[in-house]
Amino acid sequence: MVRTLSFLLAVLGLAIGAQQTTAVEPVSLTSLLKEMVDRDAVARFPDPAYTCRQASSYDRASVSADDPATWYANNDRSQFVRIEERDGRKEFVLMDEQGPGAIVRFWATWHGPGGGPFSDGTLRFYFDGSDTPAIEGPASEVLDRGLLCGPPLSQGVSPQTPHAQRGHNLYLPIPYAKSCKITYSTDVLMDIGAVRGEALYYQINYRTYEEGTPVETFSMDGLAAAKELIEETNELLQAGAAGDGLASQASGWSKRDPLTKDLAPGAATDAARLTGSGAIRRLSCQLEAENLPQALRSTVLEITCDGEQTVWCPVGEFCGMGYQVRPNHTWYTNATEDGRLEATWVMPYALEATVRLRNLGQQPVRIVGATIETSPWEWDGRSMHFHATWHQLTKATTRRDAAGEPRPYDVNYVSVEGQGVYLGDTLTVCNGAAAWWGEGDEKIYVDGEQFPSHFGTGTEDYYGYAWCRPEKFAAPWHAQPEGDGNNNGGYSVNCRFRSLDAIPFHDSLQFDMELWHWADTKVNYAPTTFWYALPSAESNVDPAADIAALPVGLEAEDVAPPYRVDGAVEGEQLKIVEATGGKHSVQHGVLNWSDARQLWWIDAAPGDRLVVEFPVEAAGSHSVAANVTKAVDYGIVAISVNDDPPVKFDGYSAELGVDTVSLGAHELRKGTNRLTIEIIGAHADAVPRRMFGLDYLLVQ
């Protein structure tokens, strides 16, 4: 049946394809904006044809997977194509590509001297060989603070923090006719090798069109002329799968009667049997069960198009939510407060399609108001089937041995044989330790590449945020419905969806992600992938009914409680009574701190003081010790207890770590006592951020 239908589809595609003519409209800012919100466009193989690749600051020591000692190198910052001298300044080249093309995603973050919230370096975009930048401005202004456009085309994610630890995202398409060079300049030394200074992390996704493809190069005048279209695009994107913006695209759609049905354990029901050429436009349903998280994982969506099973995926993951109800909406998915789920992936079929829900769990599940909306579809030689695959590494160790040495390793999200377009993924993680699980980089190989054309800088960077931030966020193309498990044992979900940055492949695609965890622990690691392909494409991910039926999460014995020091007075819990300069906050999970947090003070000047109060149960003589952090950007401080003479501590270290500093014996009063930290300066080799971090005090 599958081969017969595939043959018919191929013949049908050839017949219709012969009537098509090559598109003659130039690629432009306007055409790309329209393409971005054209839900049908991603379901047809691209015309004009393009490749999608990535320029990034990945660690250049990573040369070959055959060398595990370097393949997982983690210095993924301030790595450049080269350094140029121009007009008396250094410009660090992030990307230099020839041929007609377009920037379709630009993500970055930074830290170090000058790397405060809005005090960042200058980005410059040079097009078509010109020595004059067509775009120039502070990185934060260019990427997500409105120099080019407003949100969500230009929008950061996760709340602003004192040192700009956030993901800066630009999705405004920037086309060029002949070439594009992007550079970065800063007033402080860049962090290159042994030279310590501002550190820049970046990822730039770009299209390269076939030679001869007409492209209109971006200009600020053209940007101004497209202002109204940009605003309309932002409105549509902001509405996403949940919004009224889809109403104008719904002409001619058919909506089937809602299905409400009880599914016994092991039972399945057909939500729809569709015949004739068409496309599924929207799926929506709600599940009810005594154990709802288990139902979201163990109730599986199965879709067959033209005799091929194209979707096998738990309902929660298919809708970008994982197995906990967390309201959020993106361009393709939506989840409401009460747990109603919606997906707007366009799923064409030439002859027939079946949508089925199956209960793999041990409890009854009630399907409530499941609806399917469809529309006509003119199947042609570029039309593709939509695919969704899911699998899980269950209780996977975070380290594997190579020649007896523990190391990270690559997890294969999916490998596909055939012709198609990769459209994104959702990653659901249950973390077994109070430490960051997502240090690893994505590696995407297209059409048999020996080295990946997409090599990332960190899992959270791929998903649009930065610095393993736990905050929830949702945007059209990236979302974190839940991040509590980022720095603690527990549950996290990350989503990355694609439109203009979709990745075409002609023969094959392999998507790997490093599992690079700061702790030696266990995780449940479940990637869902979304992609389109011409009929007969195959992937290496098979239905995993036994895994989907497993209890969600980890068992208690597999989740390590946060490390805590007995008797410690946690630094992050101390009351701050005075801060004469700098910024203070609670920092999570970078080191094996007690309770996985520390009190963090940064960017203060010599002479500035931070005063905190700590409790003492009984008056008398007590020894006091402080567990403090040391790193390349930590300062020299004087630490004093009450009014006693201070102890000097130099927090500089080439390696990130902690040190226990004895503050001596003191006569302390019952109740409140004070600890004063004063900035003295910084080591000659230190990055001059003059940071200080207090993990805990021991008062004995």
Least confident of 239-243, 274-278, 512-516, 651-655: 239-243
* 569-699 fold: Jelly Rolls (2.60.120)
Q: How confident is the model at residue 115 (pLDDT cuts 50, 70, 90)?
A: very low
Cβ–Cβ under 8 Å, residues 537 and 418: yes
Q: What is the pLDDT of residue 591?
A: 75
Least confident of 187-191, 437-441, 497-501, 611-615: 187-191
Nearest to 547 by CA among 333, 317, 386, 270: 317
Task: In whole angstroms, give the CA distance from residue 141 to residue 157.
Answer: 14
Whether residue 354 is predicted with pLDDT greater than 90 in this model: the reply is yes
Report DSSP state, residue 216.
P
Whether residue 17 is predicted with pLDDT greater than 80 in this model: the reply is no
Nearest to 454 by CA among 425, 446, 497, 421: 446
Task: In whole angstroms, give the CA distance from residue 518 to residue 503.
Answer: 30
171-182 tens-digit pLDDT: 999 999 999 999
Cβ–Cβ under 8 Å, residues 116 and 163: yes
Q: What is the pLDDT of residue 1?
A: 41
| Domain boundaries defined on the chain | 2-6+24-239+384-557, 254-375, 569-699
Are both 254-375 and 569-699 of the same fold? yes
Nearest to 398 by CA among 526, 557, 485, 518: 518
Mean pLDDT calculated for residue range 326-344? 93
Cβ–Cβ under 8 Å, residues 314 and 298: yes
152 upstream amide cis, omega within 30 of 0: yes
Task: In whole angstroms, give the CA distance from residue 638 to residue 163.
Answer: 23
Q: What is the pLDDT of residue 663?
A: 97
Report DSSP state, residue 84.
E
Q: How confident is the model at residue 20 (pLDDT cuts 50, 70, 90)?
A: very low
CATH of region 2-6+24-239+384-557: 2.60.120.1390
Tokens in use for 574? Answer: 């101390």
Whether residue 8 is predicted with pLDDT greater than 90 in this model: the reply is no
Task: Supply the DSSP string of 47-70, one letter for each residue.
Answer: SS-EEEEEEE---TT---TT-HHH
3-class SS of residue 295: helix
3-class SS of residue 249: helix
Higher per-residue pLDDT: 589 or 257 = 257
Q: What is the pLDDT of residue 241?
A: 79
Report DSSP state, residue 157.
B
In the chain, what percentage of residues exceed pLDDT 90?
A: 78
Q: How confident is the model at residue 159 (pLDDT cuts 50, 70, 90)?
A: low
Mean pLDDT calculated for residue range 600-621? 95
Mean pLDDT calculated for residue range 481-498? 93
3-class SS of residue 255: strand
Nearest to 134 by CA among 176, 90, 80: 176
Q: What is the pLDDT of residue 244?
A: 46
Q: What is the pLDDT of residue 688?
A: 81
Task: In whole angstroms, give the CA distance from residue 570 to residue 563.
Answer: 12
Mean pLDDT calculated for residue range 257-273? 95
Q: How confident is the model at residue 189 (pLDDT cuts 50, 70, 90)?
A: confident
Cβ–Cβ under 8 Å, residues 185 and 91: yes
86-96 tens-digit pLDDT: 999 999 999 99
Higher per-residue pLDDT: 250 or 588 = 588
459-484 tens-digit pLDDT: 999 999 998 888 899 999 999 999 99
Chain-centroid distance of CA 35 in Å reads: 23
Mean pLDDT calculated for residue range 309-337? 95
Average pLDDT, the chain: 91
Q: What is the pLDDT of residue 192?
A: 75
Q: Which residue has the tokens 């940071």?
A: 691
99 residue type, one letter:
G
Whether residue 253 is predicted with pLDDT greater than 90 in this model: the reply is no
29-88 tens-digit pLDDT: 999 999 999 999 999 999 999 999 999 999 999 999 999 889 999 999 999 999 999 999
Whether residue 560 is predicted with pLDDT greater than 80 in this model: the reply is no
Whether residue 385 is predicted with pLDDT greater than 50 in this model: the reply is yes
Higher per-residue pLDDT: 337 or 113 = 337
Cβ–Cβ under 8 Å, residues 440 and 125: no
Q: What is the pLDDT of residue 111?
A: 79
Q: Are strands 597-602 and 583-588 parallel, antiparallel or unpaired?
A: antiparallel
Extract the runs of DSSP E, i.e. beta strands, from 489-545. 490-497, 503-505, 508-515, 522-533, 538-539
Q: What is the pLDDT of residue 404?
A: 54
- 553 Cβ contact partners less than 8 Å away, ≥ 6 residues apart: 293, 430, 491, 524
Chain-centroid distance of CA 325 in Å reads: 20
Cβ–Cβ under 8 Å, residues 669 and 621: no
Q: What is the pLDDT of residue 243?
A: 66
* 254-375 fold: Jelly Rolls (2.60.120)
Whether residue 279 is predicted with pLDDT greater than 90 in this model: the reply is yes
Tokens in use for 700? Answer: 């004995």
Q: What is the pLDDT of residue 163?
A: 42
Q: How confident is the model at residue 434 (pLDDT cuts 50, 70, 90)?
A: confident
